[in-house]
Structure 1
Amino acid sequence: MTSRYLPGILAMAAIVVASNILVQFLFGQWLTCGAFTYPLAFLVTDIMNRVYGVQAARRVVFVGFLTGVACSLIGTQIMGEFGPLVTLRIALGSGLAFLTAQLLDVAIFDRLRGGKWWQAPVFSSVIGSSVDTALFFSIAFSASLTFLEPANDVSWAAEVLPILGAGPEAPLWVSLAIADWGVKLALALIALVPFRLITRRLMAQVA
């Protein structure tokens, strides 16, 4: 792994660690502070993909995955008010969602890299973010997957409430997922600005 990948590796690791810490802090009724840092992982992956190619992007993804696994292992040893900060379901959901969504992002970006400059980062991030949200929240909180960890009581997430406080009724975790997904989509569009600026600068350096 060459030293030129190091900034991307460090950035991905920092984002994963920060997100694992910030997810412990609520932001309003439906979000955690980690919702605003985690989507930046897609920005890092897309920059690496554009500048250095698919293999570099995949390497950075695997570093992020291993960092997330380490964070989950540490979280299982920290006891909170209702038990360990990271349960088996959360660890499984987080790891599977991250790896699947990021690798999907890499593949879609590579397929679209020949189009207009904004197409690859937009479509890859939107699709990857959608898969990430669906996998994580369903694995971590859906009542249908309680068998994964019967000892973990996630009944609070199954409380039926109006979606985002105003829509039709659904389990609470659905509102959490929709709010998280909305932030990811918004940041995917905002990230186009730093994506364009950073990739232009890096590609000029490697040319």
Structure 2
Amino acid sequence: MSRTHIPGILAMAATVVASNILVQFLFGDWLTWGAFTYPIAFLITDVMNRVYGPAVARRVVFAGFVVGIVCSLIGTQIHGEFGPLVTLRIAIGSGTAFLVAQLLDVAIFDRLRDGRWWRAPLASTLVGSSVDTALFFSIAFSSALVFIEPSNDVSWAAETLPLIGMGPEVPLWVSLAFADWLVKLTLALLALIPFRVIVGQLTQKPA
């Protein structure tokens, strides 16, 4: 790993740590502040992929995964009003979603890297973000997966409510996932601007 790759690793680690902290603070009824920082991980992965290639991007992803595991281990030791800040299901969901979604992002980006400059980062982030959301929320909160951690009561997540307060009746966790997914999609589009700028600065040529 070259020293030029260290900023990417540090940026990924900072994003993972910040997201693990900010997920504890609510933003409205359906989101946490962590929803706005976590998508930066896809931007970091895509920049590293474009500038240094998929092998380096995967190393950055694995570094972020390790940091995430450490954050989860720390979270299991911190108890809030309703128990540990991080339960086993949340830890498994978070780690699985991050690793699968980020590696999928790397693979899709690499397949599309020779197309228009925006195609690879946009497609890889949209697919990766969608998989990330589906995996995390279903593993962490779906009643169908209660066997993962039988002692963890997530019945509150199964409460039936209108989708984000205005749609059809769905379990609460589906509304949380849908709101999170919408933020990820929005930020995937906005991230094209910093992607173009950062890649241009690092390569001194158009992305």
Q: State TM-score, norm by structure 2.
A: 0.98
Aligned partners of 2:41 and 2:70: how far apart in 1?
17
Alignment pair present for 1:39 and 2:26: no
Match of residue 168 from structure 2: 168
Q: Please list the CA deviations of residues 62-110 of structure 1 after superposition, one character each: whole Å capped at 9, or x if unmatched.
A: 0000000000000000001111000000000000000000000000000
Alignment pair present for 1:113 and 2:116: no
Q: Secondary structure at the match of 1:170?
A: strand
Aligned partners of 2:54 and 2:15: how far apart in 1?
20
Match of residue 68 from structure 2: 68
- Pairwise mapping of residues 1-207 of structure 1 onto structure 2 (< 5 A)? 1-204=1-204
Aligned length: 205
Q: State TM-score, norm by structure 1.
A: 0.98
Aligned partners of 1:59 and 1:42: how far apart in 2?
14
Aligned partners of 1:174 and 1:29: how far apart in 2?
13
Unaligned runs of 5+ in 2: none
Give the superposition deviation at 1:163: 0.4
Structure 1 residue runs of 4 or more that deviate by more than 2 Å after TM superposition: none
Q: Secondary structure at the match of 1:161?
A: strand
Aligned partners of 2:91 and 2:22: how far apart in 1?
16
Q: Percent identity?
A: 74
Unaligned runs of 5+ in 1: none
Aligned partners of 2:174 and 2:72: how far apart in 1?
23
Give the superposition deviation at 1:204: 2.0
Q: Secondary structure at the match of 1:167?
A: coil
Q: Which amino acid aligns with 1:91?
A: A
Q: Secondary structure at the match of 1:14?
A: helix
